[in-house]
Structure 1
Amino acid sequence: MSLVLLESDGPVRTITLNAPERRNALDWPLLDELRAAIGSVADDTEARALVVRGEGKAFCAGANLENLFGDRTRPVPELREHLMKVYGSFLGLRDLTIATVAAVQGPAVGAGLNIALACDVIVAGPRAGFGPTFSQIGLHPGGGCTWMLTQRIGAANTAAALYAGDIIGGEEALRLGIAQELVEDPGARARELATGYAERNPALMADIKQSVAIASQTDLATSLDFEATAQAKSLSSPEFEAFAARFAKS
């Protein structure tokens, strides 16, 4: 049985973590399949949007500690190199140029939270739980959690969440900005959003994604520089030409 499923529906791709009997906990076989699935999406010129979901009641319960970390008594530099390989298995989601939507119907804990945070948009269900639980088990956050949370909810809220290590429910996640929507069926809504995103001009969507990344990490001048170039390119897009023609007749 495949631990990660990759499905196509027109221009929309769906990656499903498929180990529901263990709440989609991450081990090396699953992460290897996840890395391969992300790579397939990256190489797929027909893909326009991606949904990431978990099969069963959980999105992802985090790491299978014994399988994933191995001998924890190894020297810190060796463990650091090992951990960077773990992170690389899912952070490729951030490098995709298409829109990505996480459908979080249940717990997303530890590294599972990181997989959701690596997506552009998060849709939560009423039983969703976002768990930056690292401090409660004596572990420093990893996998980009600190950075990705800070990008979404700011430094003070991130510090509070990481210090406490509590599970953040769907309503609180929506209030903080971890999730962008809270709905009864996050899988259906994520597919609906992805389908809408896929209908947009792919070059425009890629530039918007890059523009958001630039804006979140640099100053106004750098952001304006990219926006001016990207907007100039889009002035001749077929979609804008059609809009301009309609506007001229109104």
Structure 2
Amino acid sequence: MNPKLVLLESDGPIRTIRLNAPERRNALDLDLLGQLAAAIATVKADADARALIVAGAGKAFCAGANLESMFGDVTRPVHELREHLKKVYASFLGLRELTIPTVAAVQGAAVGAGLNIALACDIVIAGPRAAFGPTFAEIGLHPGGGCSFMLTERMGAAHATAALLSGDIIKAEDAVRLGLANLLAEDPEVKATELAARYASRSRQLNADIKRSVRIAATSDLETSLDFESWAQASSVGSEEFGRYLEDFLKN
């Protein structure tokens, strides 16, 4: 029987996906990635899930990939390696397809592909000992797994270029300053749980539409953004949550 390299935990409407190979700092191999993909698919199909936390067991969030397992035979033609890598990327990039809010609780090292898993979440909470490593160039490797896109999305092109060219480890406070992480917290999982509970208390549709609205705004013009916002806001006017707020507002 394969060991449980990824745990899926439930607490009411909150789900937690926990990388569970602390003896190797949650380094990724194909078995772990397969279990991660399955856990993400389970959350996606779970109608009762309202928010997701992604965390790592032990001292590290994820120390990156086991390169031998990740790449296999590196003498294969480039087109074969490319197709293999795209399948690897898909195993964790499913996080970006979830319509519920996702929060990464990063308590230690998040390096290479491990950094990508954190970046694939909507919110990144950094602990004091968090360390973010876009270290691909340091080992002669081009960034992969969406790292170039997701770093640029969070940090802007200038900071993303500098980070990827240097390959340096980015400490927690600098990660927040640069926009790579959203918040610094003494216990990132406690803070992630607090945020997840807040998000989970709201309408699943509202959260999904907010995520979609931001994606549209980031890739389209104002007219396209307004077109979706006007539909989504008009739809939310009839929600129970807004109805309760409006009733209380009119009483005062």
Match of 1:11 among 7, 10, 13: 13
Residue in structure 2 matched with residue 157 of structure 1 by the alignment: 159
Residue in structure 2 matched with residue 197 of structure 1 by the alignment: 199
Match of 1:148 among 147, 150, 153: 150
CA–CA distance in structure 1, aligned partners of residues 221 and 206 of structure 2? 22
Q: Percent identity?
A: 68
Residue segments in structure 1 that go unaligned for 5+ positions in a row = none
Q: What is the 5 A alignment of 1:51-200?
A: 51-200=53-202
Deviation at 1:31, TM superposition (A): 0.4
Deviation at 1:247, TM superposition (A): 1.1
- Residue identity opposite 1:68 in structure 2: M
Q: Does the alignment pair 1:224 with 2:221?
A: no
Deviation at 1:245, TM superposition (A): 1.0
Deviation at 1:8, TM superposition (A): 0.4
Q: Does the alignment pair 1:36 with 2:38?
A: yes
CA–CA distance in structure 2, aligned partners of residues 195 and 237 of structure 1? 20
- Which deviations, in whole Å up to 9, do the C-alpha atoms of 1:197-233 show, x marking residues without a partner? 0000111111001111111111111111110000000
CA–CA distance in structure 1, aligned partners of residues 230 and 96 of structure 2? 24
TM-score, normalised relative to structure 2: 0.98
CA–CA distance in structure 1, aligned partners of residues 183 and 61 of structure 2? 16
TM-score, normalised relative to structure 1: 0.99
Residue in structure 1 matched with residue 235 of structure 2 by the alignment: 233
Deviation at 1:51, TM superposition (A): 0.1
- Residue identity opposite 1:144 in structure 2: G
- Which deviations, in whole Å up to 9, do the C-alpha atoms of 1:157-212 show, x marking residues without a partner? 10000010000000000001111110110011101110110000111111001111
Aligned length: 250
Q: Does the alignment pair 1:215 with 2:217?
A: yes
CA–CA distance in structure 2, aligned partners of residues 210 and 124 of structure 1? 25
Deviation at 1:243, TM superposition (A): 1.0
CA–CA distance in structure 1, aligned partners of residues 221 and 178 of structure 2? 24
Residue in structure 2 matched with residue 206 of structure 1 by the alignment: 208
CA–CA distance in structure 2, aligned partners of residues 236 and 215 of structure 1? 24
Residue segments in structure 2 that go unaligned for 5+ positions in a row = none
CA–CA distance in structure 2, aligned partners of residues 245 and 21 of structure 1? 54
- Which deviations, in whole Å up to 9, do the C-alpha atoms of 1:126-181 show, x marking residues without a partner? 00001000111100000000001111010001000001000000000000111111
Following TM superposition, the consecutive aligned residue runs of length 4 or more in structure 1 with deviations greater than 2 angstroms are: none
Residue in structure 2 matched with residue 22 of structure 1 by the alignment: 24
